[in-house]
Amino acid sequence: MSWTDDRVEVLKKMWGEGKSASQIAKELGGVTRNAVIGKVHRLGLSNRSGGASPAKSAPAAKAKPAAKPRVAEKPKTAEPEAKPATSVPANKPIGRPKLVVTAGQPLPPQPSANEISPEALASVREVEKKAKRLSVMELTEKTCKWPVGDPATDDFWFCGLPAQAGKPYCEAHVGVAFQPMSSRRDRRR
């Protein structure tokens, strides 16, 4: 697969939305997360800085120390980042462009009458006992967004436990959320 303008656009969009490289790669298909990251860097939007002032300073020494051919050094750009943006408005309820909570059931997987691992189910109940019971506005990218209860009533909350990296749910809920197949032997590539 090549980086068509269209795909690049998707890449930019998703990256801008904070999607992980692997997520983007999966979405695009035909590319690995490495490819995505590589492209991101080539596009110069590796950093989240929208401004993207490419400090052209010193790529410098491309020297090849005999010791370590690879990974010579890691010159962290210790540039003092001038951020005009004062306050911290970065708390936008982004992340669910498609999965908007409409009148229906926003609950994506809610496995109820399905065949789920008994252990996983037990884990869910276990988790629900120690869940933090967050409201929708308290959710972040780092909190489990597993819904519990009836959204139509006030007896509705979200798990809120630490979410698995890149996933919208905590470990336990990820287990029951994504289990379309009995086993995923997808070793893409």
Partner DNA sequence: CCCTGATTCGC
Partner DNA sequence: GCGAATCAGG
Q: Which two tokens stand for residue 66?
A: 């005999």
Judged by CB, which is closer to DNA: 39, or 157?
A: 39
Region for residue 27 given its phi and psi (left: phi exceeds 0; alpha: psi -120 to 50; beta: otherwise): alpha
Which of 186, 187, 185, 174 shows the shortest CA–CA distance to 117?
Answer: 174
Total residues binding DNA (CB under 7 A): 32
CB of 76 or CB of 129, closer to DNA: 76
Distance of CA 122 to the CA centre of its chain: 26
Single out the segment in contact with DNA by CB under 7 A; choices: 16-24, 50-58, 82-90, 118-126.
16-24
Nearest of 103, 140, 102, 125 to residue 176 by alpha carbon: 125
Does 38 contact DNA by CB under 7 A?
yes
- Single out the residue of 54, 58, 62, 92 in contact with DNA (rule: CB under 7 A): 62
Site residues for DNA, 81-140, by CB under 7 A, read none
- Residue that the structure tokens 């996933």 belong to: 167
Q: Report residue 7 as tokens.
A: 């795909």
Binding DNA (rule: CB under 7 A), the pick from 10, 12, 23, 107 is 23
Q: Residue 13, interface with DNA (CB under 7 A)? A: no
Using rule CB under 7 A, residue 10 touches DNA: no
H or E element that contains 156: strand 156-158
Q: List contacts with DNA (CB under 7 A).
A: 1-3, 19-23, 31-35, 37-42, 46-47, 62, 64, 69-74, 76, 165-166
